Amino acid sequence: MKGKWMSVMIAVVLVFVALFVLPVFRAYAAPPQPADCATQAYNLIAGKNCGVEATVPDTNWEVSNAVITIERSTDQVHNGSYAMKITGTAATSNNTSVGAQTIKTSNPVAVTGGTNYSFVSWIYIPSTATRVSAARLRAAWYVNADCSGSQLSTNTVDVTTTDAWTYGWLSVTAPATATCAQLRLFIQTPASGSGVNPVGPVYFDNVMFYPSTATALTLRAIDARTAGGGAALPLLALTLAGGVAAAGARVARRRR
């Protein structure tokens, strides 16, 4: 009899976890960040260069503006040997977003309308960076398969923490008619002040874009750490059966 009641109690606990605990994790926890993104087949950015171990610019990433350079750098690194460094080369206007973006024509990122996607990156902003109000992850959605024409809308998340690697993440549902996404790693300039000086630098590492319904992902703690050490601590291993309808830091959705 005692063993029977124990089985019943275990079953009740499992049902409670399934109904109440896991939905909370899905709604409020950050999407997982793979430790070795080169092996992650569900990354939809062509080239699988999320760790920036290969040279940039490449056939996947280009500068968004002529006043910006992007390069593979060892100055600040979260994982592997390199990170993407974005630096300004000339004056940039106030309240402007500039940086790197996926190339529409050579390697458009195909999406399915109504599907949940996660766009994530580790981001490092030095406190000595010039004219940086935020580092920005942005997904822009298009009807055309090559991301040509006007964008439908954008989703954005900003990171403002300095002198520490910070996990930026954006999990959203693609518009119903979207078939292509352009992904952008931006520096947002201040709303006011002198625009004489170039922006940056800002560093991005482990950049991923994938369906939020990807299976067998390990939920991990978000840590702010220097390049020198520390590992994210596993909180819970589970399969995300649904999209994560949330985003880290400050989130904005707008038309432009």
Q: What is the mean pLDDT of residues 108-128?
A: 94
Where in 112-214 does DSSP place strands (E)? 116-124, 134-142, 153-159, 166-173, 180-188, 202-211
pLDDT band at 219 (very low <50, low <70, confident <90, very high): very low
Is position 12 within any domain? no
How many domains does the chain fold into? 1
Of residues 188 and 250, the one with the higher pLDDT is: 188
Is position 148 within any domain? yes
Is position 4 within any domain? no
Domain CATH number, residue 233: 2.60.120.260
Is position 85 within any domain? yes
Q: Is 191 exposed, middle or buried (0-12, 13-18, 19+ CB in 10 A)?
A: exposed
Taking only the tens place, the pLDDT of each residue in 92-116 is 888 888 999 998 877 889 999 999 9
Distance of alpha carbon 24 from alpha carbon 117, whole angstroms: 18
Is position 191 within any domain? yes
Full domain range(s) for residue 167: 31-254
Q: How many CB atoms lie within 10 A of CB 61?
A: 24
What's the confidence (pLDDT) of residue 156? 94
Is position 3 within any domain? no
What's the confidence (pLDDT) of residue 106? 77
Distance of alpha carbon 159 from alpha carbon 167, whole angstroms: 8
pTM equals 0.73
Taking only the tens place, the pLDDT of each residue in 133-168 is 999 999 999 999 999 999 999 999 999 999 999 999
Is position 44 within any domain? yes
Q: Give residue 178's identity as a one-letter amino acid code.
A: A
Q: Is the pLDDT of residue 127 over 90?
A: yes
Is position 14 within any domain? no
pLDDT band at 80 (very low <50, low <70, confident <90, very high): confident
Q: What is the mean pLDDT of residues 239-248?
A: 36
